[in-house]
Amino acid sequence: MERWGRSYWISNCDGAGMSESESSARGAGAVPLRASLILAGLCLLWGGNLVSIKISNQGIPPLLGAVARSCVAALLVWIYARSRREGVFFLRKDLRHAVVLGAIFGVEFVFLYWGLAFTHASRGIIFVYTQPFWTAIGAHFLLTGDRLNSVKVSGLVLAFLGLVSVFWSRSADLGPLYWLGDLMLVAGGLCWAATTIYVKRIVAGRDYTHYQTLFSQLFFSIPVLGVAWLIFQRTDAVNLTVPVLGAFFYQAVIIAFFSYMAWFWMIHRYSVSRLAAFTFLTPLFGVILSGLILKEPIPLLLWLGLVLVGAGIFLVNKPQATPARA
């Protein structure tokens, strides 16, 4: 968000490619203070991702920036995985699943990078982080044992009210096509949710590591993003300045490589459901950073929408109590 910057892998990696001992280790109690601080730091990094995209879009055409990011991040993941003697490609019999993941990932980032050319990052971060709600709805119908309950429904209601509030918020410097950018960012969140559901339904039952899942999405998104750039923005000018290059480095190296590897390190040690409850911090940081760095106005309705969406994210991802075994 990549996903991306994303706490993109919060749901995608829930159980994928983990051994039984790793899965049992994840469910061991609350997240300790040190890990909580690390996770808060990751949420801060992810919150700044859309801000950095907004900056890099000023000198790199959005779709060219997206394809370049996937190329650099895929190369870094490959180098790191090889240094640990880990493979990065799916088996040939499952190659179609890797291609599907990469295609959805690519479409998601077409919406994300291009959408930010029309709307503010402070709005975009909230729309992208509707992903947990689309995932919860999709999981209810497509996954076993992941049903909606009263707490999740309450979170969905709050999120819907938050989206209405954000859509209605206005600032004087919004462009005439801001609504198109808003819709594209919502579509990006939907694609993120689709990837999550696909991983949980198709890939999680196979013995693949997070290196393979992450690399597949980065590598096979390259053709999708490249074709989109050639069709829509091939003639757009490139103007590489220090801020633009710094923002691109942030997206490709800090977010798509470093933060995702740090996230994977954490999900092998702590409960994913408990870690996911922290994700409400990401849009909060994103809105604050958009105001501080990009000087974007933050209307009252946007703050209200942020609070409602953040509360919804917390409720949807809130760890559920499990009955004790006899």
pLDDT score at 30: 63
Task: Identify the band that residue 271 occupies on the pLDDT scale cut at 50, 70 and 90.
Answer: low
The residues, ordered by sequence, that sit 6+ positions from 59 with a Cβ below 8 Å of its Cβ are 238, 239, 240, 241, 243, 244
- CA–CA gap between residue 326 and residue 324 (Å, rounded): 6
Checking if the pLDDT of 51 tops 80, the result is: yes
Return the exposure string of 280-310: e unless at least 16 CB atoms fall within 10 Å of the residue's CB, then b. Answer: bbbbbbbbbbbbeeeebbbbebbebbbebbb
More confident of the two residues 156 and 109: 109
DSSP state of 129: T
- CA–CA gap between residue 31 and residue 276 (Å, rounded): 11
223-257 per-position pLDDT tens digit: 999 999 999 999 999 999 999 999 999 999 999 99
The residues, ordered by sequence, that sit 6+ positions from 90 with a Cβ below 8 Å of its Cβ are 97, 98, 208, 212, 216
- CA–CA gap between residue 32 and residue 270 (Å, rounded): 9
Mean pLDDT, the chain, rounded, equals 84
DSSP state of 166: H
pTM for the model stands at 0.83
More confident of the two residues 320 and 42: 42
Task: Identify the band that residue 74 occupies on the pLDDT scale cut at 50, 70 and 90.
Answer: very high
Q: Which is it for the CA torsion 231, 179, 42, 155, positive or negative?
A: negative
23-43 per-position pLDDT tens digit: 444 444 567 888 888 888 999
